[in-house]
Amino acid sequence: MSGLSSAHSVVEPGIWSKRIAGTLVVIYALITMIPLLWIFATSLKSPPDSISYPPKILFTPTVEGYCNLFTTRSRQTQDYIESLGPPANVCEEIARDRSMVVVGASKYWPRFVNSLVIAFGSTFLAVFLGTLAAYGFSRFKVPLADDLLFFILSTRMMPPIAVAIPIYLMYRELGLSDTALGMILLYTAVNVSLAVWLLKGFIDEIPREYEEAALIDGYTRLQAFVKVVLPQATTGIAATAIFCLIFAWNEYAFAVLLTSGTAQTAPPFIPTIIGEGGMDWPAVGAGTTIFLVPILVFTILLRKHLLRGITFGAVRK
Amino acid sequence: MAEVRLEGLGKSFGTSRAVTGMDLVIADGEFVVLLGPTGAGKTTTLRLIAGLERPDAGSIRIGEEDVTGLSPAERDVAFVFQQYSLYPHLSVFDNLAFPLKSPARRWSAGEIDARVRDIARMVRIDHKLDSKSTKLSGGEMQRVAIGRALVREPSIFLMDEPLSSLDAKLRADLRLELKRIQSEIGATLLYVTHDQIEAMTMADRIGILAEGHLTQIGSPREIYTAPANLHVAARLGHPHINLIKPGLLPCQSMPDGVRTIGARTEHILVEAAASVAQGNGRVDWIEHLGDQNHLHILVDGQKITLLADPYSGFKAGDPVSVSLKQPLFFGADDRRITDV
Ligand SMILES: Nc1ncnc2c1ncn2[C@@H]1O[C@H](COP(=O)(O)OP(=O)(O)OP(=O)(O)O)[C@@H](O)[C@H]1O
Ligand SMILES: [Mg+2]
């Protein structure tokens, strides 16, 4: 073999292509991370720093944004503040510097918990139902299977918000407005079509012989499903779960429309954080930063599966 | 182990008939091989016996029991599939233990462990018990697949071309081992293959399948020396049996109504002829296969192929005289004419 032909191996990219590809990926990653870093930086600024122009790259970090996010404060006279004992914690200290006292917890934490319950609840339901439906479509002779699958997909063909008004009216009649159950059902309904389609692809790829072998070995269909199909579908299930979770976690329009009080999630709540004299940008930054954490953790935990999953089973082993 | 009895078994997929009117009795402890071309219905027959397909007609008995309507789990059979034989998410040990861990069997962990180790030794895979099943070589995977069937002592083993994806050497090794294991434990075994050497060397009886019909069943010797028809004759023998018209070659005592003569190496006499005029054919070419040669002879434009001793001294172009001795005769319906 001459040097030329071995330098251009078909499967192994050359050293220069690797370097160029690597550089491009790094540049792209940096660009996409700028907004995240900006939000994080804002969360550590003081309110005046956060709106200064030109923006400050270097500033003295403070946890004021986080304090403002989690507390409600009221303005008091200097005399009253001086009459109080020493501040109990750092938030109290910051508040007093601004002639205020902490009067209680803000609603951010309950809203955040709502988001967790609704997003993870609907993701679990969508993936659970999606797996069963996909298995059924993949393995059994379902009458009108193709039409049913098309129908399921067709629910995704218009933007969900197009049906906002009927859903709003339905929810009002059924008493589902502003309930966690209502939001879980809604997000599940939107996600389940995606879940069925994605998972059917993955389950189709698992040869039936494995289940048949298990049936012959004395397992029931359900046991074979749990012992043989599920372990091999983990990649697909993980990928599907992340897609569903990202949608439910970030969903804004329905959340604004259907929740206002007890079931409100974090996305509609964050923009309502108002400080004195307009938006409290550090608090908004802090709220957004914390909001990003669960999805970040979830994605990192399932990263191994996701990477293989988004190739849609093309490279399974 | 038990006797397995198929009576009038039939199965169609839509309009295509995969198996029709299959009658077959596999005796307790017998090794039966089904041989047939692709699409003949071999896999379908095994799947019917295992309960993975419902027959349209006929019945299946295992031992005393009619199992035609039972689920796979209730039939107590073991199956080695044509491909995808191991669970990729389990280790070798867990693959072997999987049938024993079924909730239907109540084995203790200790019993399972002991049994798995026994079987692993038997199929010579005990050094790889902790490996992931996807990290094995093809031959090792096939050993585990066979081991997975063996752990259970079922009433019958069904094996669907278990050695087909292996190279020739491994296939030969595993063939011997499988035969050894089968006679050691006295297993009833129904084995499907394309490979006539596997069929000839392992089988107590061979069943020849064509287009869903069981054309003939008998000992390897019977199938080879007394094929029921042209199809069966063409399935066995290497090189392929020569099919020639009567009258092409000299032959004593030919019965009436012969349309085709089947001649294998042992039915053909070849002698060197002094000149082209004295002989009736000539050597076309000689194929060297190492331990043996294939001799291709042209007689009147028809090619005849037979095995030859590498030291026979024939060269391409040599004139030869060819004659037949007690070949196989086939009538107009392609059936063999037996009263010679
Ligand atoms: N699930 C099925 N649906 C439709 N047709 C089928 C099905 N399974 C088998 N067939 C048909 O039945 C016939 C017999 O198939 P079978 O798999 O038994 O062949 P085989 O003898 O095992 O062939 P091979 O040696 O290629 O494995 C074929 O014509 C095949 O197309
Ligand atoms: Mg087959």
Asked if residue B340 is part of any domain, the answer here is no
What is the distance in angstroms between the CA of the first residue and the CA of the last residue of chain B? 42
Name the minimum distance, in Å, from the CA of A165 to any CA of chain B.
Answer: 47
Same domain, yes or no: B174 and B71 = yes
pLDDT band with cut points at 50, 70 and 90 for residue A86: confident
Cα separation of A275 and A258, whole Å? 25
Q: Who contacts A224 (Cβ-Cβ below 8 Å, separation ≥6)?
A: A211, A214, A215
Helix (H) or strand (E) holding B80: strand B77-80
User: Cβ(B149)–Cβ(B80) under 8 Å?
Assistant: yes
C-alpha torsion angle, residues A105, A91, A43, A108 (rounded to 10): 0
- Pairing between β-strand B31-35 and β-strand B205-210 as defined by DSSP bridges: parallel
Q: Which amino acid is at B139?
A: G
Residue B313 has pLDDT above 90, yes or no: no
CATH number at residue B294: 2.40.50.140
Q: Which of A199, A181, A185 is nearest to A130 (CA)?
A: A199
pLDDT band with cut points at 50, 70 and 90 for residue A314: very low
Same domain, yes or no: B277 and B319 = yes
Instruction: Give ipTM to 2 decimals.
Output: 0.80
The mean pLDDT of A46-53, rounded to a whole number, is: 87
Chain B residues with CB inside 8 Å of A212's CB?
A: 50, 52, 72, 79, 81
Q: Mean pLDDT, chain B, as a whole number?
A: 89
Cα separation of B105 and B268, whole Å? 58
How far does residue B194's CA lie from ligand 2's centre (Å)? 9
Asked if residue B223 is part of any domain, the answer here is yes
Same domain, yes or no: B79 and B177 = yes
Same domain, yes or no: B176 and B222 = yes
A109-310 maps to which CATH number?
Answer: 1.10.3720.10
Same domain, yes or no: B122 and B208 = yes
Same domain, yes or no: B307 and B202 = no
Same domain, yes or no: B40 and B95 = yes
Asked if residue B336 is part of any domain, the answer here is no
Domain locations in chain A?
A: 2-43, 47-106, 109-310
Of B184, B200, B235, the residue at which a domain comes to its end is B235
Asked if residue B337 is part of any domain, the answer here is no
Chain B residues with CB inside 8 Å of A227's CB?
A: 98
CATH number at residue B159: 3.40.50.300
| Contact between chains at B103 and A223 (C-beta distance less than 8 A) | yes
How far does residue B77's CA lie from ligand 1's centre (Å)? 21
> What confidence tens digit (pLDDT) does each residue in B251-260 have?
878 888 888 9
Cα separation of B238 and A182, whole Å? 73
- Which of B72, B87, B105 lies at the smallest CB-CB distance from A215? B72
Same domain, yes or no: B261 and B182 = no
Cα separation of A32 and B166, whole Å? 50
> What confidence tens digit (pLDDT) does each residue in B67-92 have?
999 999 889 899 998 877 789 889 99
Q: With a 6 A CB cut-off, is B44 part of the ligand 1 pocket?
A: yes
Give me the percent of chain B exceeding a pLDDT of 70. Answer: 99
Same domain, yes or no: B27 and B102 = yes
The mean pLDDT of A98-126, rounded to a whole number, is: 93
Same domain, yes or no: B35 and B160 = yes
B 132-171 residues with CB below 8 A of A? 134, 148, 152
Q: Given CB atoms, is B104 within the 8 Å cutoff of chain A?
A: yes
**Tell me, what's the pLDDT at A139?**
92
Residue A2 has pLDDT above 60, yes or no: no
Residue A316 has pLDDT above 50, yes or no: no
Total domains in chain B come to 2
Cα separation of A179 and A259, whole Å? 7
**Tell me, what's the pLDDT at B168?**
83
Q: Is B52 helix (H, G, I), strand (E, B) or coil?
A: coil
**Tell me, what's the pLDDT at A310?**
55
Cα separation of A70 and A286, whole Å? 10
> What confidence tens digit (pLDDT) does each residue in B200-232 have?
999 999 999 999 999 999 999 999 999 999 889
Q: With a 6 A CB cut-off, is B83 part of the ligand 1 pocket?
A: no
Asked if residue B95 is part of any domain, the answer here is yes
Residue A8 has pLDDT above 60, yes or no: no
Same domain, yes or no: B26 and B168 = yes
> What confidence tens digit (pLDDT) does each residue in B156-215 have?
999 999 888 778 888 888 888 889 889 988 889 999 998 888 999 999 999 999 999 999
pLDDT band with cut points at 50, 70 and 90 for residue A6: very low
User: Among the listed ranges A220-234, B85-99, B279-293, which one has the minimum average pLDDT value?
Assistant: B279-293
User: Cβ(B91)–Cβ(B83) under 8 Å?
Assistant: no
Q: Given CB atoms, is B14 within the 8 Å cutoff of chain A?
A: no
Q: Which of A50, A60, A46 is nearest to A97 (CA)?
A: A46
> What confidence tens digit (pLDDT) does each residue in B240-292 have?
899 988 888 888 788 888 889 999 999 998 888 888 778 888 899 888 887 88
> What confidence tens digit (pLDDT) does each residue in A118-152 have?
999 999 999 999 999 999 999 998 899 899 999 98
Asked if residue B58 is part of any domain, the answer here is yes
Q: How many residues does chain A have?
A: 317
Residue B315 has pLDDT above 50, yes or no: yes
pLDDT band with cut points at 50, 70 and 90 for residue A15: confident
Provide the token pair at A173: 């009649």
| Contact between chains at A232 and B88 (C-beta distance less than 8 A) | yes
Q: Report pTM.
A: 0.79
The mean pLDDT of A1-26, rounded to a whole number, is: 74
Q: With a 6 A CB cut-off, is B219 part of the ligand 1 pocket?
A: no
Question: What range does the domain containing B267 cover?
Answer: 242-248+257-330
Q: Given CB atoms, is A228 within the 8 Å cutoff of chain B?
A: yes
User: Cβ(A192)–Cβ(A132) under 8 Å?
Assistant: no
Asked if residue B142 is part of any domain, the answer here is yes
Of B235, B265, B286, the residue at which a domain comes to its end is B235
Q: Around Cβ A104, how many Cβ atoms within 10 Å? A: 9
Cα separation of B264 and A209, whole Å? 40
Name the minimum distance, in Å, from the CA of A317 to any CA of chain B.
Answer: 9
Provide the token pair at B46: 């095994």
**Tell me, what's the pLDDT at A3?**
44
> What confidence tens digit (pLDDT) does each residue in B135-151 have?
888 888 888 998 999 89
What is the distance in angstroms between the CA of the first residue and the CA of the last residue of chain A? 31
How far does residue A217's CA lie from ligand 1's centre (Å)? 23
CA angle A119, A121, A127 (to 5 degrees): 95
Same domain, yes or no: B294 and B150 = no
Provide the token pair at B155: 């009433």
Q: Which of B268, B277, B275, B276 is nearest to B312 (CA)?
A: B268
Cα separation of B152 and A219, whole Å? 14
- Which of A214, A216, A227 lies at the smallest CB-CB distance from B77? A216
Beta bridge mates, B306: B295
Chain A residues with CB inside 8 Å of B71's CB?
A: 215
CA torsion sign for B307, B309, B310, B315 is negative
